[in-house]
Amino acid sequence: MKPVVLVAGALANKPSNGGNAWTRLCWVLGLRRLGFDAWFVEQISARDCTDACGAPAPFAASANSDYFRSVMARFGLGDRSALLCHETGESVGTGLRELAAIAGRAELLVNISGHLGHEALFSGPRVRLYYDDDPGHTQFWHASGNGAARCGGHDLYYTVGGNIGSPGCIVPSDGIVWRPLLPPVYLPEWPAVPKAAFDRFTTVASWRGAYGTVTHAGRVFGQKAHEFRRFADLPSRVDRRFEIALRIDDGDSADRERLQTSGWDLAEPDRHAGTPDAYRTYIRDSGAEFSVAQGIYVDTQAGWFSDRTARYLASGRPALVQDTGFGRTLPTGLGLLAFRSVDEAVEGARRIASDYAAHAAAARAIAVEFFDTDRVLGSLLRELGLHEPRRVIRPAVAPREATVTA
């Protein structure tokens, strides 16, 4: 019998977000490839269930449930997944009673951003691993004691912020040992797709992101919108097309107008990135990525690296992205270029366009070496003593006392 691993995270909570779905899917698909019986589990509140127009809807008839069903079916996970409604006890996929029994024999829970809090499921797995994909937010929230990070009760803590706890990174560890882990990409679903010539820079973005600004020790850390404004005039300085599949509210119409006036093409995000397949097609149809990062990642130099950028690289698409300190972990200069200033962004764009074939080949090579699920998850499983699915060695970890209410 294959050892069981549960992966928990928000997917139906963020319908029409194909990129977010891939971050969860790659964990499950990668673990299955490595020989584990991997399940995907998600909780949702009835108050967050809406119809396709955003109006409140019952759980069973919600766009959230429909999105969950379609994504799970698309990747053959219909019988290895569950979406649970917190208030009503309803579910899509496996029911709570059966799932609790499965959790009770699970070797590992991968809890992305501390999503899973249901006691019957959370307490079952032998080892509970917290995976932080919002470095800075997670640690500042944890340090403030407000409980938003949901760190409590886990045995091990991993983060995509590769510099946390090292000199030069101002993110507080606050007593937790944060271990670095790059975002895994399931390469069988993300093969390199040859492109004859460079055409345009693209990215997929939300203007303000899921969270507001964060204040810590009297310092305010900004959003992606603040960084985009610094580079708004870039297209006027580079003789290339720049496009964003941008989710931006009507209240930010002045920013939208400035982007368009400055030469940015704005694509419809629901059409181009609303499903995992649409998102992948949009990246494959691009020439390269250009993107800024959230201010909190830039200012803290946490080493955050976007899972979206990792998928551009996997597709053989070079990436020109704002520096968050990831150069300590990843090779830069060919295939992956980091910038801090407008001048550096201009120079990077010109370099990619002038030697596209070399940058495209290097992009794929970086993905294979650093982001392949076989490598990223294989290394993690070796650390946990779970690298031989047929002969599981119990991980020797002592449960950490809960320091924050989950």
Residues 308 and 313: their CA atoms lie apart, in Å, by 9
Q: Give the per-residue pLDDT at 216.
A: 79
Q: Give the per-residue pLDDT at 391.
A: 55
Q: Give the per-residue pLDDT at 168.
A: 87
Q: Transcribe 204-235 into DSSP letters.
A: EEESS-SS--EEETTEEE--HHHHHHHTTTGG
User: Measuring CA to CA, how many Å separate 52 from each of 41, 66, 73, 86, 127?
Assistant: 22, 10, 19, 21, 38
User: Measuring CA to CA, how many Å separate 60 from each of 64, 67, 90, 98?
Assistant: 9, 11, 8, 19
pTM over 0.85: yes
Residue with the two structure tokens 């305010």: 220
Q: Give the per-residue pLDDT at 1.
A: 85
Q: Mapping DSSP to helix (H, G, I), strand (E, B) and coil, where does residue 339 land? A: strand
pLDDT digit string (tens) for the chain, length 406 residues: 899 999 999 999 999 999 999 999 999 999 999 999 999 999 999 999 999 999 999 999 999 999 999 999 999 999 999 999 999 999 999 999 999 999 999 999 999 999 999 999 999 999 999 999 999 999 999 998 888 889 999 999 999 999 999 998 999 988 999 999 999 999 999 999 999 899 999 999 999 877 777 887 778 887 899 999 999 999 999 999 999 999 999 999 999 999 999 999 999 999 999 999 999 999 999 999 999 999 999 999 999 999 999 999 999 999 999 999 999 999 999 999 999 999 999 999 999 999 999 999 999 999 999 999 999 999 999 999 997 775 554 444 544 443 333 3
Domains and their CATH numbers in the chain: 4-184+373-384 (3.40.50), 187-370 (3.40.50.2000)
CB atoms within 10 A of CB 252: 15
Q: Give the per-residue pLDDT at 213.
A: 77
Length reported for the chain = 406
CB atoms within 10 A of CB 146: 11
Residue with the two structure tokens 């309803």: 90
Residue 267: left (phi > 0), alpha (psi -120 to 50), or beta?
A: beta
Tell how strand 127-132 and strand 156-159 pair up: parallel
